[in-house]
Amino acid sequence: MNRLGSGILLHITSLPSSYGIGDFGPWAYRFVDFLSQTKQSYWQILPLNPTDPAFGNSPYHSISAFAFNSLLISPDLLVERHFLDKSDVAGIPEFHQQEIDFRTVIAYKKNLFGKAYERFKKQRRDEHYEKFCEENSHWLDDFTLFMVLKSHFQEKVWSDWPEEVRDRHPKILITLRRKLQSEIEKVKFLQYIFHQQWEFLKDYSNQKKIYIIGDIPIYVDYDSADVWSHPEMFKLDQQKKPYVVAGVPPDYFSETGQLWGNPIYRWDVLQENGYKWWIQRLEQNLKLFDTVRIDHFRGFVGYWEVPSDEKTAINGRWVDAPAVDFFNQLKKRFYHLPIIAEDLGTITPDVREVMKLFSFPGMKVLLFAFGEDDPLHPYLPHTYEKNCVVYTGTHDNNTVRGWFDREARPDEKKRLFRYLKKQTSKQEIHWELIRLAMMSVANMVIIPMQDVLGLGEEARMNRPATATNNWRWRLLSEQLTSPLAEKLLGMTELSGRAEEI
C-alpha cells in the first residue's frame, strides 16, 4: 500500500452468470479483464464463508470461519473437469438476472453438486484432493462432521443435540464419522472444488496485477462448527449457551445499536494458547487473499458486550481486549500483515493508537463527509493521510445516487457542492465523489461497482439491522460497456492510480 492504486468492490455473488448467482466461472475472469483494462489494482470482495438462509444469506453470518460457500462453485468449470456432463446443465431454470433468489439457487445447485460428487467417486485417486484434506484437517474434519450432523439432527442448534454429541465425547464422534462417512466425503469434495476454482481465479487475477482484498468478520456465529469444536474459547454457560453476546452501541446505522448475537471470545483462553485458532484463521486468509479487511476491528481493542436476554444493544458495556499482545504475536508469526482495519462507528483513541502502532490503514467513507460543517471532519478528503483506504460507500451504505436522492439533507448537499466548488446534477454525482476519492492523497481507493455504474437505491447490497432482501443485487453483463471502461480508465490515469501492466 505504499503506492497509489484503486479498485472495485464487487462480491462474487453479484457477478453475471447463467445459474442465478455469481460464481468462479467465465464472468469472474471477464471481470478481472475489465479491472485490468481500466488499470485497477484491487478487487475487493466480501467473506467467502458458507451463508445460511436463517440469517438472510449474509456473508457475515456463517457456520464456519474457515469453510467456503459452495454456492460460488461454477457449474461450467465442473463440466470442464468432467464432474458434470453438458446435459446436466442444459435445463437451467429462468433465474432472475438482477436479483438472487437464494431458495431456488440452493435447490438447483444442490442437485448439480450431488451429480458431480457421484462422478468424482468413480474417478481414480485424486492426490490433490487428498493433499487438500490433509493440509486443512484442523478445521475440515470438524466442519464436515458438523454439517452432516446438522442435517442428521433436523437442523437443530448444536447445543440441542444429544448430550454426548453436543459435548463431543470421543467414542461417539468416532462412531458418527464411520456411520456418516459418505455424506462427510461429499462435503469435503465441495470444499476442495471451491478451493481449487478460487485458486485458479486468484492466480489469474494476480497475473493481471489485480490483487484481491478479502474480508474477515471478527465474530463467528453461535451455531457454528467453530463454537461446537472450541466451546472453551467463548463466553458460554454450563449448558454451553452464550450468557453475553456481541453488538455495537447506538450509532449512524441504528438508534438502538446493533445486537448481532454472536458469542464473545474468552480472550484469556485465547491468550493462554498463543492465539492458535486466530493464527490458523489469519494463515488461511492470507493464502486466499493478498490483503484482508477485518470487519469491526475495534473489537480487538474493546468490544461491546450485551447480556444475552436483552432485546436491543443499548444496555451493553465496553470490555477491554489484549490487542497489542495479540497483534505482536501475529507479527512474530507473519512477516507481513496486510490488514485493513474497519474503523467505522464509535472509535476511541485507544483503537487509533493500536492502528498507528501496527500501521494498519483505516477506512474513510465519503458518504459520511458532509454531515458536519467542520473543516477538520475526518471523512473530508483534504484531511486524509496516505495510509488509509477511501470508499465512496461500503456494502452497508446506500449507493451514492441512492444517498443523494433519498438520504442527503439539504445542508449536506450544500456542503457537498461547496466542497466541489460547483453544482452538479444527480446524474453525475457519483462521478464527482469518485473523482474526490481518486484525487485524494490516500494510497488506496475502493469504489463499489454500483457507484461506478451510478445506480440508485435499488442496487443497495445491505441494509444493516434488517434481515430480509439483502445481498441479492447482481451486475448485468451489458452494464460493463466500453464507454464506462474508458471513463473509469481516464479518471484512474488522471489521478496517478493506473496499474501499468
pLDDT tens-digit readout, 487-499: 999 999 999 999 7
- Name all domains of the chain by residue range, CATH numbers in brackets: 5-218+274-303+324-391+418-448+468-494 (3.20.20.80)
Is pLDDT above 90 for 377? no
As a whole number of angstroms, the distance between CA 122 and CA 388 comes to 51
Average pLDDT over every residue of 52-63: 94
Each as own residue / partner, the long-range contacts of residues 26-34 (CB below 8 Å, 24 or more positions apart, any chain) are 26/74, 26/76, 27/477, 28/74, 28/201, 29/201, 29/204, 30/480, 31/480, 32/201, 32/204, 32/205, 32/208, 32/210, 33/208, 34/480, 34/485
Look up residue 461 and give its three cell numbers. Answer: 447490497
DSSP character for 249? -
Distance CA 292, CA 283 (A): 11
Task: Supply the mean pLDDT for the chain.
Answer: 95
Q: List the one residue out of 444, 340, 434 whose CA is nearest residue 389.
A: 444
The answer to whether residue 200 scores a pLDDT higher than 70 is yes
Cell numbers placing 258: 446493533
> Would you say residue 100 has pLDDT above 70?
yes
pLDDT of residue 346: 75
Q: What is the pLDDT of residue 195?
A: 98
| Mean pLDDT, residues 121-129 | 88
Report whether pLDDT(14) > 70: yes
- Dist. CA 406–CA 413, nearest whole Å: 12
Work out the average pLDDT over 454-481.
94
Looking at residue 466, what is its pLDDT? 83
**pLDDT score at 375:** 81
Query: Which active-site residues does the annotation give?
Result: 295, 342, 396
For the chain, helix (H) and strand (E) counts, in that order, are: 18, 12
Which pLDDT belongs to residue 124? 77
Q: How confident is residue 1, by pLDDT bands cut at 50, 70 and 90?
A: low
Q: What is the pLDDT of residues 152-175, one digit of tens each?
A: 999 999 999 999 999 999 999 999
3-class SS at 483?
A: helix
Q: What percent of the chain has pLDDT over 70?
A: 99
pLDDT value, residue 30: 98
Angle at 472 between CA 114 and CA 250, to 5 degrees: 125
- Identify the pLDDT of residue 258: 86
Hey, how many other C-beta atoms are within 10 angstroms of the C-beta on 9? Answer: 26
**Residue 241 CA, distance from chain mean position:** 26
Rounded Cα distance between 142 and 122, Å, is 25
Residues 6+ apart with CB under 8 A from 182: none
The mean pLDDT value for 354-368 works out to 97
pLDDT of residue 501: 55
Answer yes or no: is pLDDT of 25 > 70: yes
Q: What pLDDT band is residue 253 in, cutting at 50, 70 and 90?
A: low
Integer Cα distance of 303 and 323 in angstroms: 11
Mean predicted confidence (pLDDT) in 183-197: 98
The whole-number pLDDT of residue 325 equals: 98
Q: pTM (2 decimals)?
A: 0.96
What is the rounded average pLDDT of the residues 330-339? 95
Q: What is the mean pLDDT of residues 442-459?
A: 98
Rounded alpha-carbon distances, angstroms, from residue 472 to 11, 295, 439, 468: 10, 20, 31, 10
